[in-house]
Chain A
Amino acid sequence: MRVLVLGTSSAAGKTTLCAMLCRHYMREGKDPVPFKASNLSLNSYATKDGGEIGMGQAFQAWSAGLEPVTDMNPVLLKPSGGGMMQAVVNGKPYMDYGKGKELDREAVMREALKAYGRLAENHGFIICEGSGSPAEINLMDRDLANTGLMERTDIPAIIVGDIERGGVFAAIYGTWRLIPDDLKPRIKGFVINRFRGDASILKDGLDRIEELTGMKCLGVLPYVYLRFPEEDSCSDSDGKLEGATVREAYLRNVDELTDTAEASGFDFGLLEEIARSRSSS
């Protein structure tokens, strides 16, 4: 099984949703593993084998009951100031680029796909996280982790939107609309994240999005006041973080998050169905 979680923006809740899915399917014995083809972040984690990956994937690995390894985030792009970027590939510095010097995206993508293949061989369920928004129409031809991954694999996808800042229906619908038509049939579901209050008020909106796009609503996840690793400067997760070690504290939070999601009626069965689907095209 494999699924790609796309977000309507940075900080939409991709990282925590993937961590929650890792936790849930670990509890169910489905052998989940996190993956993010390419991560733009300065918050990195050193794996036991001495590689560098995004903090989010380390957190998701713990959530899945796994030790973080570089395959989980084969490409890490780190802004190094002055318009320059450092590309870390398979956990090791690969090249500095920017100011006219281009990253060889094809070479990097090939490495990412190899890592994806290795994880697929050894695990039951790859939970993939997208990067930023997949609908940046000025950058789409350079994409690695979103439509880039979809074009090079047959992975199905879902979209998560943050309702807290408002406009979530527009964000989900607009994101779906801007994804190239040939990939649209593989976007099969959406999730509303960080909702407060009585979810029945959303029904008409959810129905309309399902009707317009053919995607199914997997669930409305309640807001939780818990702190998670911050991937970039736009994430501002706020809240409780308690425990002897960071790892323990995050795991305690992901357990609470997963309990909440399970209690909210999130349709994990439908997600598995999506994750098993083979594209006809």
Chain B
Amino acid sequence: MKIIGKKVNEEIERGYLGPNLECDYHPSHFTGQDCTFCYCPFYPCGDGDLGWELDGKRGRKVWNCSDCLFIHRPEVASHIMSEIKRMGITDYSDVRLRGVFEETKKNYWHMGKALMVVGATSDAGKSITVAALCRVLHRKGYLVAPFKSQNMSLNSKVTRGGAEIAMIQTLQAQAAGLTNPDAHMNPILLKPKGDDISQVIVCGKPFADYRVKEYYSEFVPGPGIEIVREHVDFMRKRYDFVIMEGAGSPAEINIYDKDIANMKAAEIADASVILVVNVEWGGAYAYALGTVELIPEKDRKRIKGIILNNVRGDPEKMRSGADKLSEMVGIPVIGIIPHVDVALPSEDSEALRGAKGKGEGKIRVGVVKFPRIANFTDIDPLVLDGIQVVYVESPKDLDGVSAVILPGTKNTVMDYRWMREKGIAGRLAELRGKLPILGICGGYQMMGAILDDSMGIEGGKKEVIDGLGFFGNRTVFAEYKKTVANRDAALLKGDGGNLTGYELHMGQTEVSEEPLFRIDSMFAPSWNEGSVREDEKLFGTYLHGCFDAQPFRRYFLSFLGDAAADMPMKSYGESLEESLDALADAFESSLDMGKLMEILEGKA
């Protein structure tokens, strides 16, 4: 408390500051934040809308307000500082501060509004619409955040706090200008393990495995609804707008009462709803009308607008149909959005269905398309660099590639067996030493000498199998335990350099190779990570996202020969920012913004 008091007194003496662009951690919460009160003059305010008590050391309760954004709102910070100055307060212990807090909260705090984006199908463009709306509203100066109550995806990311959430919510958070995406934005994550079973992650931590039927009969009516309620409330208390994303279609009438990702979540959040339809496959009017009319009347009233998305060709050609649709369903079409060609990561493997590759560059990199491929967005930065990614599903797909990447998988042992049966493993053994081969996470485990699943945790069958043997490493799946961590790493080879990645895996690897990275941590001595044999062009790491920053990309591509050496290196982060702006521009110019704001404010 003493330290906080001293810091607050310094802040009061210094006066109004605005954003502190000099600070190494800026923006620690969101782009445009006010840093006048890095330390809160009201701590501990004890207000349940802004923080909560957690159990500290020695049984003491500690007030936690680490995700409170209120004090960093520019209008709030400037009001508080002017009040402090007007009243002549100079010290943290001044009792009049309580009055300032209460008056400010009363006048400046409000419960945020929620808007939900549902889609007529998967891949309707929900995620992109949420990202676009987050960026549009962020640019208008609102504090806005994404939310998806329940996401089914194998593409997840680890937050700063060590929670696992869907990758797409972290991207939407970036669109909203938020620095630290957290588990409140995606409280339930389902990771499919087979056709019928999923691992359920709650608030970033593994909760349990469920079969589809049990998920709907036990989890949803039990903990599910309460989880959604708790987190959507949390979000509304902190943001002006919470842009919620639905899942799949909201009109799956066979499970309607058990669906907590769509209209039920909208009801809990008292959200207005916008329906997005992808027109690319045709039948868009039927999908739109069918979706609206199959939703029971009490919920249908929440649907305030329809967006026809992904129009190739002249959007005006759809106008007469859109008018007719509006008239039939009594809901306005608030936007006919053209197809936007932006490079953004795709949400789930459904988007990979039938895809043969990605990008159009001359240099081809083969990526083995495991049946349970996970975190395949790891390779997206390569596409930005003008590399053509070719998905490898048979040995002949490896013809003509300049490098091979074995990506992550939800199940290393089963996908390794698949790779052997397909003959891809055999072909890789022939290519060893001839071209660069990189394994990430599960792919890295496969490159080792031994996959020890003697407990039957990965493959179901208790067995120890030989890996590709490119490294001497041994991976043991000893217990049902998962490593989930966000890492700061330094590249130990080539020109070096720093990057941030994340680990997300079952199994532990005993490494007997030269390391690729050094992991630095505030809480432990540094340690080594990954494996490399430069003479054989073999690379392996657990770090997802290793290509996002330039150092490792530049290093890996240097093994692809001269053609790769001249390639321009873009920063993945910058290019994502450009894409998000381009996306927001397209939505802003095609949407009836007046109508959208009315819907957002709950006035439609």
Interface residues of chain A, those whose CB is within 8 Å of chain B, are 7-12, 132-133, 135-139, 164-167, 169-175, 177-178, 196-198, 201-206, 208-209, 234, 236-238
Contacts and interface: CB of A to CB of B under 8 A. Distances in A.
Given A138-B317, A178-B289, A204-B253, A9 B283 contact: yes
B250 to A, nearest CB: 9
Nearest to B249: A167
B23 interface: no
A137 B324 CA distance: 8
Interface of B: 119-123, 195-196, 212-213, 248-249, 251-255, 280-291, 293-294, 317-318, 320-321, 324-325, 350, 353-355
A169 B252 contact: yes
Given A173-B290, A177-B289, A178-B289, A197 B253 contact: no
Contact of B212 (A197, A208, A237): A197
Contacts of A7: 283
Contact of B290 (A11, A136, A169, A237): A169
A10 B282 contact: yes
A205 B212 contact: no
A6 B289 CA distance: 17
B254 A174 contact: no
A166 B248 contact: yes
Given A173-B290, A236-B354, A138 B253 contact: no
Contacts of A209: 253
B289 to A, nearest CB: 4
Contacts of B248: 166-167
A171 B290 contact: yes
Contact of B321 (A138, A167, A202, A204): A138
Contacts of B284: 133
Contact of A177 (B251, B254, B280, B286): B286
A170 B282 contact: no
B281 A166 contact: no
B77 to A, nearest CB: 45
A12 B283 CA distance: 10
Contacts of A236: 353-355
The 5 closest A-B pairs by CB, nearest first: A174-B290, A236-B354, A133-B283, A167-B249, A205-B254
A170 B256 CA distance: 12
B301 to A, nearest CB: 17
B212 A170 contact: no
Given A139-B321, A236-B353, 10 more contacts: A10-B283, A138-B324, A166-B121, A171-B287, A173-B290, A173-B294, A198-B212, A205-B254, A205-B255, A208-B253
A136 B122 contact: no
Contacts of A202: 254
A124 B254 CA distance: 38
A48 to B, nearest CB: 31
Contact of A174 (B123, B195, B286, B355): B286
Contacts of A133: 282-284, 286
A132 B282 CA distance: 6
B325 A137 contact: yes
Given A173-B293, A202-B254, A238-B354, A165 B122 contact: yes
A142 to B, nearest CB: 12
Contacts of B288: 174
B587 to A, nearest CB: 22
A169 B248 CA distance: 12
A138 B336 CA distance: 14
A172 B120 CA distance: 12
A133 B282 CA distance: 6
Nearest to A169: B253
B294 A170 contact: yes
A198 B213 contact: yes
A239 to B, nearest CB: 9
A110 B318 CA distance: 28
Contacts of A136: 282-283, 285, 321
A178 B252 contact: no
Contacts of B286: 8, 133, 135, 171, 174-175, 177-178
B281 A198 contact: no
Q: By CB atoms of chain A within 10 A, which of B119, B120, B290, B355 has the most? A: B290
Contacts of A206: 254
A178 B327 CA distance: 13
A94 B288 CA distance: 37
Given A197-B196, A203-B254, A167 B120 contact: yes
Contacts of B120: 167, 170-171
Contacts of B281: 9-11, 165, 234
B396 to A, nearest CB: 13
B282 A167 contact: no
Contacts of B123: 165
A236 B352 CA distance: 10
B293 A165 contact: no
Nearest to A205: B254
A153 B4 CA distance: 83
Contacts of A198: 196, 212-213
A33 B288 CA distance: 34
A177 B283 CA distance: 12
Contact of A138 (B251, B252, B280, B320): B320
A236 B252 CA distance: 24
A166 B317 CA distance: 26
26 contacts: A9-B281, A10-B281, A11-B281, A12-B283, A137-B285, A137-B321, A137-B325, A138-B318, A165-B122, A166-B121, A167-B122, A167-B248, A167-B249, A167-B290, A169-B254, A170-B251, A171-B286, A171-B287, A171-B290, A174-B287, A174-B293, A175-B283, A177-B289, A178-B285, A205-B254, A236-B353
